[in-house]
Amino acid sequence: MKIPELTPRMMRDWLLEEDSARLEQLWYMANFVRERKVGQDVFLRGLIEFSNRCARNCTYCGLRAANGDIARYSLSERDMIGCVGVALELGIGTLVMQSGEGVALETEQLLRFFRFVRHEKKMALTLSVGELSDVEFLAFREAGVNRYLLRFETSNKALYNHIHPAKKNCVEGNQKNGNHTDSDRIRMLRKLRELNFEVGSGVMVGIPGQTVDDLVNDLLLFRELDLDMVGIGPYMPHPETPLALEFEDHKSSYVCSNRELLTYKMIALTRIILPDANIPSTTALATLNREHGRVLGLQRGANILMPNITPQEYRSEYSIYPEKAGTSMGPDDSYAAAVSAIAQAGRTVGAGKGDSLRYLARKGNH
């Protein structure tokens, strides 16, 4: 099968396509490319939400500093080492360490933990803690962190600025990031590439005010940045955030009202334009469509799942959006749900670290 080179016009047409029979062609193409380029394996990442403390005030996220309604926590080093044991018992070879930004944990403590995970346990390690200085990126890279995940959220600059209040509006204490005043995640993504990380980014779909043209530009930016990993999830309104009010006004717009279908389309189009990238079927998708979201993501281009291995008692406080799938589960159940989704999608659980083939190709190793 010859997959056509997608022009921006064709991307736009697919994003606007409503005929389900024609959309089958898109799903077919994405699945075909996925199978040919990254195969049948779905790789698992053990997600540790190690702290919900955050100095930022992103208007969409329940962890924003101004939200006084959640109990803030940071896992102890002992808890985190416990999570590593759980991951290894489940046969998961890679960890994704995620938290709020700026005030989560002492860098020294994290560096020690990362060295332990990489050098003693030989696991792959993804960090997702928001914006850092170049010096911090380098320190984490040197400690063995080999992947970094920083979504640019939307390529529309005005919309980006609107949903990310300037840092001066954030709580004090985020001085660690003092060497940059603007939120320039694109620059950081390029820096991460320079530092030899496997670079992951992505967007939310259905942000109030987002347009189909914005989504086309998101896809073009994925390609321009030549990302190794792309995470795409629907925007989920959180009642304790300012953006949820705006969502009420926009919810009948095309992008907001079709955000589940548009998320599948974005996953499928991303697979076609970046055939060998790693693409997760996201938790937000599994939350919006509890029964089928995870599986449909896998069938429409995705090849990664991130079962949550955070101890259950902390999960309800990591409420970036409400009713997040898996909140009432422990690590074993989250793992079982992932394995069951893989079986339902007719695929196999990948063994090993599941490095991005995109990354390996760039390094000349594949």
Pattern 283-312, ligand SAH, x by CB under 6 A = -x----------------------------
Q: Does 61 bind ligand SAH (CB under 6 A)?
A: yes
> Which of the choices ligand SF4, ligand SAH, none does residue 94 contact, using the CB cut-off of 5 to 8 A by kind?
none
Instruction: Please tell me whether residue 201 binds ligand SAH under the rule CB under 6 A.
Output: no
**Distances, alpha carbon 274 to alpha carbons 33, 235, 296, 325, in Å:** 10, 23, 19, 28
The number of angstroms, rounded, from the C-alpha of 63 to the middle of its chain's C-alpha atoms is 16
Per the rule left: phi > 0, alpha: psi between -120 and 50, beta: everything else, 181 is alpha
Size of the site for ligand SAH (CB under 6 A): 19
Least Cβ distance, residue 188 to ligand SF4 (angstroms): 13
- When asked if residue 197 is in the footprint of ligand SAH (CB under 6 A), the reply is no
Binding residues vs ligand SF4 (CB under 6 A): 54, 56, 58, 61, 63-64, 100-101, 130, 320
Q: Can you read off the two tokens belonging to residue 352?
A: 């090993």
Closest CA to 178 of 136, 127, 128: 136
- What does the alpha-carbon distance between residue 115 and residue 315 come to, in Å, rounded to a whole number? 25
In the range 237-266, which residues lie near ligand SAH by CB under 6 A? 238
**From the list 46, 100, 301, 307, which residue makes contact with ligand SAH (rule: CB under 6 A)?**
100
Please state, in angstroms and rounded to a whole number, the distance separating the CA atoms of residues 328 and 320: 15
Q: Does 321 bind ligand SAH (CB under 6 A)?
A: yes
Residues 6+ apart with CB under 8 A from 334: 307, 308, 309, 326
The amino acid present at 162, given as its one-letter code, is: H
Residue 175: CB partners within 8 Å, gap ≥ 6? none
236 binds, among ligand SAH, ligand SF4, none (CB under 5 to 8 A by kind): ligand SAH
Least distance (Å) from ligand SF4 to the CB of residue 60?
A: 7
Residue with Cβ nearer ligand SAH (11 or 97):
97
- For residue 254, the minimal CB distance to ligand SAH (Å) is 18
Nearer to ligand SF4, 64 or 271 (CB): 64
CB of 299 to ligand SF4, least distance (A): 28
Task: Report whether 201 contacts 230 (CB < 8 A).
Answer: yes
How far apart CA 117 and CA 222 sit, in angstroms, is 30
Phi/psi-derived region of residue 33, left when phi > 0, alpha when psi is between -120 and 50, beta in every other case = alpha
The reply to whether 164 sits near ligand SAH by the rule CB under 6 A is: no
Report if residue 200 touches ligand SAH, rule: CB under 6 A. Answer: no
Determine the interface stretch with ligand SAH among 166-174, 229-237, 246-254, 324-332 (rule: CB under 6 A): 229-237
| From 95-103, 140-148, 216-224, 352-360, span contacting ligand SAH (CB under 6 A) | 95-103
Q: Does the footprint of ligand SAH cover residue 320 (CB under 6 A)?
A: yes
Identify the CA nearest to 93 among candidates 51, 33, 146.
146
- CB nearer to ligand SAH: pick between 150 and 295: 150
Is residue 173 within 8 A of residue 56, CB to CB? The reply is no
CB 270 within 8 A of CB 277: yes
For residue 64, the partner it binds in ligand SF4, ligand SAH, none, with Cβ less than 5 to 8 A by kind, is: ligand SF4
Amino acid at position 20, single letter:
S
CA distance 250 to 49: 31
Which residue, 101 or 246, is less far from ligand SAH as judged by CB? 101
Please give the structure tokens belonging to residue 160: 């980006």
Asked if 60 is part of the footprint of ligand SAH (rule: CB under 6 A), the reply reads yes
What residues make contact with ligand SAH under the rule CB under 6 A? 60-61, 98, 100-101, 128-130, 150-151, 153, 204, 233, 235-236, 238, 284, 320-321
